[in-house]
Amino acid sequence: MSLLTVLILAAALIGIGLYGALSQQSFVMLMMGFELMLNGVLLAVIGFWSLGTGGTPKGQLLAIVVMAVMAVEMAVGFALVTAVYRRRQVDTTEGLGTLKQ
């Protein structure tokens, strides 16, 4: 386990998450893609903190900020899914045509 392998794993998670976020039709699955990307980011931050900076406490603070971003993304995302479903009765991206033209 070195910084190189940790960062490559983080890159793999970000790639998978990007695939999910771009390809999924269902809103909730799309958000899973975002979560997976943020997961990779979190791993990269912790990897840099642990193996690159010699354990500066500010590195863990950055990781906590990333976790707050994750929580905000989840909360606001699900609220948006609820709001959209209430107005339009759709749960997939294909169901929304308002911004198409």
Partner 1 sequence: MSPIDLAFFVLAAVAVLAGWRVFATDSMVRASFLLLVSFIAVAGIMLLLAAPYIGVATIFMMAVEMMVMALFMVAFMMNPAGLNPMMMVHQDRLAKVAGLAAFVALTAAVILTDLPDRAVSADASVIHDLGIELLGPSMLPFESAGVTLLAAMIAAVVLSARSGRFGPSDEGSRPPGLVPGGDPAGRIPDDERSDKTESGHHDEHES
Residues 55-94 that bind partner 1 (CB under 8 A): 55, 57-58, 60-61, 63-65, 67-68, 70-72, 74-76, 78-83, 85-88, 90-94
Nearest approach in angstroms of CB 9 to partner 1 is: 5
Please answer whether residues 59 and 48 qualify as being in contact, where contact means their C-beta atoms are separated by less than 8 angstroms.
yes
- Nearest of 84, 78, 86 to residue 99 by alpha carbon: 84
41 contacts partner 1 (rule: CB under 8 A): no
What's the closest the beta carbon of residue 36 comes to partner 1, in angstroms?
A: 5
Minimum gap (Å) between residue 35 Cβ and partner 1: 7
The pairs formed by 20-26 with CB atoms below 8 angstroms and a separation of 24 or more are 25/92, 25/93, 25/94, 26/91, 26/92
Q: x/- site string to partner 1, residues 5 to 24, per CB under 8 A?
A: xxxxxxxxxxxxxxxx-xxx
Please tell me the count of residues contacting partner 1 according to CB under 8 A. 82
